[in-house]
């Protein structure tokens, strides 16, 4: 017999990380992967949103919740989602967590701090 969680699934929570070339991009990427491993949501393809790939756009439109993780004040992940028409999502900027571009080694502590902030942001996202 199927459990309630199997028969009553909700739309997935999608996680988009800036994954940029800087150290904070690497931390952002690893935090999104950790959130996926922990079952908080599913890391998804930001480049697909930027490129307006129809399959990725459709899946993002159907998401139950969206999280953008940015490493710095450039807010590339946030901007990419907004330019694609997505306006309701949680957002974490690592520089707001005290991490600085060019000065943030990719450590378990930085990854865990970012992942925890992302999980909190998703949990506190109000439904549209």
pLDDT, tens only, 13-63: 999 999 889 999 999 999 999 999 999 999 999 999 999 999 999 999 999
Q: How many domains does the chain divide into? A: 1
Domain-located, residue 5? no
pTM assigned to the model: 0.90
Domain-located, residue 2? no
CA distance 116 to 126: 18
User: What local confidence, expressed as pLDDT, does residue 10 receive?
Assistant: 81
- Mean pLDDT, to the nearest integer, of 110-119? 98
Domain-located, residue 128? no
Domain-located, residue 18? yes
Contacts for 94-102: CB closer than 8 Å, 24+ residues apart: 94/24, 94/27, 94/28, 94/69, 94/70, 95/24, 95/71, 99/24, 99/27, 99/71, 100/24, 101/22, 101/23, 101/24, 101/71, 101/72, 102/22, 102/23
- What is the number of alpha carbons within 13 Å of residue 69 lying toward its C-beta? 37
Query: What's the domain range around 40?
Result: 14-123
Domain-located, residue 4? no
Q: Is the dihedral of CA 98, 46, 61, 84 positive or negative?
A: positive
Beta strands in the chain (DSSP E): 13-17, 42-43, 65-70, 90-93
Q: What is the pLDDT of residues 65-98, one digit of tens each?
A: 999 999 999 999 999 999 999 999 999 999 999 9
Domain-located, residue 87? yes
Domain-located, residue 69? yes
């Amino acid at each position: 017999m199927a459990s309630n969680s199997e028969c009553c699934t909700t739309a997935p929570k999608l996680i988009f990380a800036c994954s940029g070339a800087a150290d904070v991009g690497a931390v952002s990427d690893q935090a999104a992967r950790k959130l996926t491993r922990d079952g908080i949501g599913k890391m998804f393809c930001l480049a697909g949103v930027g490129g307006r790939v129809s399959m990725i756009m459709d899946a993002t439109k159907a998401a139950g919740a969206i999280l953008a993780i940015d490493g710095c004040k450039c807010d590339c992940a946030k901007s990419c989602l907004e330019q694609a028409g997505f306006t309701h999502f949680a957002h974490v900027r690592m520089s707001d967590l005290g991490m600085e571009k060019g000065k943030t080694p990719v450590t378990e502590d930085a990854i865990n701090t970012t992942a925890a902030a992302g999980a909190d942001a998703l949990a506190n996202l109000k439904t549209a």
